Structure 1
Amino acid sequence: MKTLYRLALLLAFGLTVIGCKKAAYLTDDGLHKAEVNLSTYDYLAAHPAGMFDTLLLVIDHFKLKDEINKAKTFWAPSDYSVNRYFKQKADSVKFVDENAQYSFDQFLSEIPIDSVRAYIYNDAPYDLATASTAYTAIKNASNISGFVYHRQKQPKPLWSSGPVYNLYYVKIRGEADQISPDGIVTVKEDDMADMRVYCQTTGIKTASGTTLNILANTHTFVGDFTPRILTGPKIVEAGSTLTFNYDLSIKYDAAGYTGTTVNVLLPRLARFYGVESGAIPALIGKDITYYAVQPDGTLNANSTANAPGHWFDASGKTCSWGKDARIVSELATATMTFNILQYPGQTTVGSTYTVRQSLVYKSKTKGDLNAVFVFNIKIK
């Protein structure tokens, strides 16, 4: 019986074709429905591969079981997503002390409950059948604004004669991306791309009345939706120098290495360099050199934090981790994201710290092209 029960669960997941709704083009007998005779919580708990065990630890910690069961829609992150955020938090601690310990209990204590409720919707069921190709604004249980959902048309597949759509859960960053009916996404040149999270499974109907959409394993739980720079930097191009000037704020923290992230505006940087956006990460360390810019304008190519990255003192000069350190900025080249953190207890509320870094591209036709990133950081 236990084996049959597990098979039934597997079939329930199988009814939801990865990335697309159960639709008439699969058979000639109409729409298929993925309805399960379990509450939302019990369905997640019963997954044969334990795909949501860590997520359920988060739900239990915040006593959200009833909210999950009563939700009209739950955009469920998998354990891969939760573990990715845990690793991100643990790495931020180990950045300064490789022997530091970071427990899961500590991780749970640092997650704001509103960030978890951003995945819960109590107003209506949302899935591929209700989605439009255009963004549709939706209101989550935390009342955090900027979330939308939509479906995106995919290139014509070999296995279907009809159109195929994928469902996306989206956090708008800056100006909303433009999505055409044909599925083409357009991002304004000096803007950040929206955080668009693909749903690997959509439209599971649980016995407690929830529409369950499973987010892609590549999603970073909470981290993908952490507030980022929405207004964008001030950009000045003068000859062979392009400057991005950011005004940031970080809440004072006496105990943790906390801060914010900044995404490089790759389309703008690529136009300045005269290369394709996708080529830039691979050029860093080769044709592009990462520097700290000292207050006197000299360049320091030696990383004093996790490479490529630098610790800065109160004057904006590079230093080592320790009593003089105030701000660290490290570049994650895979995502082209600056991680900017404070040294716990060594910043001052009300103070502004200015740090500068640059990416210098050795162009074969234009010589050295210097992209400077200026971070003016206000401690609140």
Structure 2
Amino acid sequence: MKTLYRFALLLAFGLAVVGCKKAAYLTDDGLHTAEVNLSTYDYLAAHPNGMFDTLLLVIDHFKLKDEINKAKTFWAPSDYSVNRYYKQKADSVKYVDENAQYSFDQFLNEIPVDSVRAYIYNDAPYNLETASTAYTTISNASNVGGFFYHRQKQPKAAWSSQPVYYLYYVKVRGEADQISPDGIVTVKEDDQADMRIYCQTTGIKTASGTMLNVLANTHTFIGDFVPRLLTGPKIVETGSTLTFTYDLSIKYDAAGYTGTTVDLLLPRLARFYGVESGAISALVGKDITYYAVQPDGSLNANSTANAPGHWFDTKGQTCSWGTDARIVSELATSTMTFNILQYPGQTTVGSTYTVRQSLVYKSKTKGDLNAVFVFNIKIK
């Protein structure tokens, strides 16, 4: 059996030839007909570079082989996607104890089967040809809502005189993004951008009747669909201070570092700072400093968790990891999201913990502009 860590030997899929009306596609070993004489499971198992070996371990663990073969549509994550989520889970364990082991069997036992079924659709075959430029709602085998698909027009390509479209698998977060027929994506201010996953290969019809669409290697298996805060924060702007107040809830966990992820509302923050949304991530650690806000209002720039981030005690004071720690909030600068987790077994059901952090931008024209993030976290 090929191991999880064989990814360095895998070759990435080529881009789908999506502009043509023919249902042709590229894989890493050339152009093929879109119909194959293997079942869905056998086709994934037969990939010459083992691109789905780890995905098949997940399928086998949950005994989903028949479901995969009978599905009308399967949005298949590659091993890269599965490995990305496995690494996230393993890193959270090693953060507590760098010598801790986190086996793939542990990983499998912690995956909810309904999360895997979010990729399986039994109602109809979906591919580039059936897609509209507008979002079309689809219903997966786990009955988890909020999933759509659509095709998006791409900028004119030098190699094609015809319009080129890519297929996207979508999980709506907050209010649905608006996609124009010309492919322009508009996210409503103070809303979250949808999780839109590009399909690197689309329209493979297997012998068992499944329409197979392969998701981009950059997708994080399950992790991209983890529920995030869908209701916006209360926002108050006073002079040089912009305050976002979030009311969150986390289920008590005696064993794991569990919690939630909160998207920083970049369009609103960018307007406050007077910069482009896309520029903010690169400014953190330079013109933007990340602080913990202590209960007395003082600022602490020293990270006490994975930098940039802080552990907080019961009073919202920064502390080190250990017996006083209750809540940790860390900023993922690549995605500009806050990861807010509890210390296992040290929170109390029914209690609310309030932690505060801020991002202070040194504007050359307006002076210090302080964006404060207040998280009221109730343990259920």
Q: Distance in 2 between matches of 1:91 and 1:17?
A: 31
Distance 1:311 1:296 in 2: 17
- Counterpart Cα distance in 2 of 1:42 and 1:248: 44
**1:339-361 alpha-carbon deviations (Å, 9 max, x no partner):** 11110000111111111100000
How far does the alpha carbon of each residue in 1:35-90 deviate from its partner, in whole angstroms, 9 at most, with x for none?
00000000000000000001011111111010000000000000000000011111
* Equivalent in the alignment of 2:197: 197
**1:79 maps to what in 2?**
79
> 1:212/1:22 Cα in 2 relative to 1: closer, same or farther (>3 Å)?
farther
Helix, strand or coil at the partner of 1:56:
helix
Which residue in 2 is equivalent to 1:163?
Answer: 163
Question: Within 5 A, what are the aligned runs for 1:279-294?
Answer: 279-294=279-294
Unaligned segments of structure 2, at least 5 residues: 1-11, 25-31
Question: What residue in structure 1 maps to residue 278 of structure 2?
Answer: 278
Query: Any idea what the Cα deviations from partners look like across 1:244-286, whole Å, max 9, x if unmatched?
Result: 1111111111111111111111111111001111111111111
Corresponding position: 1:23 with 2:21: yes
Match of 1:311 in 2: 311
Q: CA deviation at 1:98?
A: 2.1
Write out aligned runs for 1:219-238 (5 A).
Answer: 219-238=219-238
**CA displacement at 1:94 relative to structure 2:** 2.2
Q: Which moved more, 1:101-110 or 1:172-181?
A: 101-110
Q: Which residue is 1:10 aligned to?
A: none
Equivalent positions of 1:115-154 (< 5 A) are: 115-154=115-154
Distance 1:298 1:238 in 2: 18
Write the distance in 2 (CA, Å) between the matches of 1:24 and 1:52.
26
Correspondence 1:178 to 2:178: yes
Amino acid at match of 1:47: H
User: Contact 1:95–1:305 (CA<8 Å) still a contact in 2?
Assistant: no
**Which amino acid is 2:202 matched to?**
T
Give the letter for the 1:347 counterpart. Answer: T
Aligned match of 1:7: none
**Which amino acid is the alignment partner of residue 291 of structure 1?**
Y
Does structure 1 residue 63 correspond to structure 2 residue 36?
no
Distance 2:71 2:62 in 1: 15
Correspondence for 1:103: 103
Residue 67 of structure 2 aligns with an amino acid whose one-letter code is E
Moved segments of 4+, more than 6 Å? none
What TM-score does the superposition give when structure 1 sets the normalisation length? 0.93
Q: Return closer, same or farther for 1:254/1:180 CA change in 2, 3 Å cut-off.
A: same
Distance in 1, Cα, partners of 2:135 & 2:204: 22
Match of 2:263 in 1: 263
- Once the two structures are superposed, what CA deviation does each residue of 1:95-141 show, in whole Å capped at 9, x if it has no partner? 23222221111111111111100000000000000000000000000
Contact 1:25 1:162 (8 Å CA) reproduced? no
TM-score (norm 2): 0.93
Percent of aligned positions that are identical: 86
Report the residue type matching 2:269 in the other structure.
Answer: L
Q: State the match for 2:368 in structure 1.
A: 368
Please give the alpha-carbon distance, in whole angstroms, between the structure 1 residues aligned to 2:277 and 2:374: 21
Q: CA RMSD in A?
A: 1.6
- Is residue 74–residue 119 contact of structure 2 (8 Å, CA) maintained in 1? yes
- Using the TM superposition, give the Cα deviation of residue 22 of structure 1 relative to its aligned residue in structure 2, in angstroms: 5.1
Which residue identity is paired with 1:245? Answer: T
Q: Residue type of the partner of 1:23?
A: K
Distance 1:241-1:47 versus aligned 2 partners, 3 A rule: same
Q: Do the aligned partners of residues 64 and 25 (structure 1) sit closer, same or farther apart at CA in structure 2, a change above 3 Å counting?
A: closer
CA distance in 2, matches of 1:225, 1:70: 23
Cα 1:142–1:25, aligned 2, differ >3 Å: closer, same or farther?
closer
Aligned to 2:297: 297
| CA gap 1:281/1:320 in 2 versus in 1, 3 angstroms | same
Tell me which amino acid in the other structure corresponds to 1:283.
Answer: L
CA contact (8 A) 2:19 2:163 kept: no
Letter in structure 2 aligned against 1:301: A
Question: For the residues of structure 1 that align with 2:101 and 2:259, how far apart are their CA atoms?
Answer: 19
**Structure 2 counterpart SS, 1:168:** strand
- Matched residues in 2 for 1:354 and 1:274: separation? 29
Structure 1 unaligned segments of length 5 or more: list them.
Answer: 1-12, 27-31
Aligned length: 362
In the TM superposition, residue 311 of structure 1 has moved relative to its aligned partner by 0.4
SS in 2 for 1:95: helix
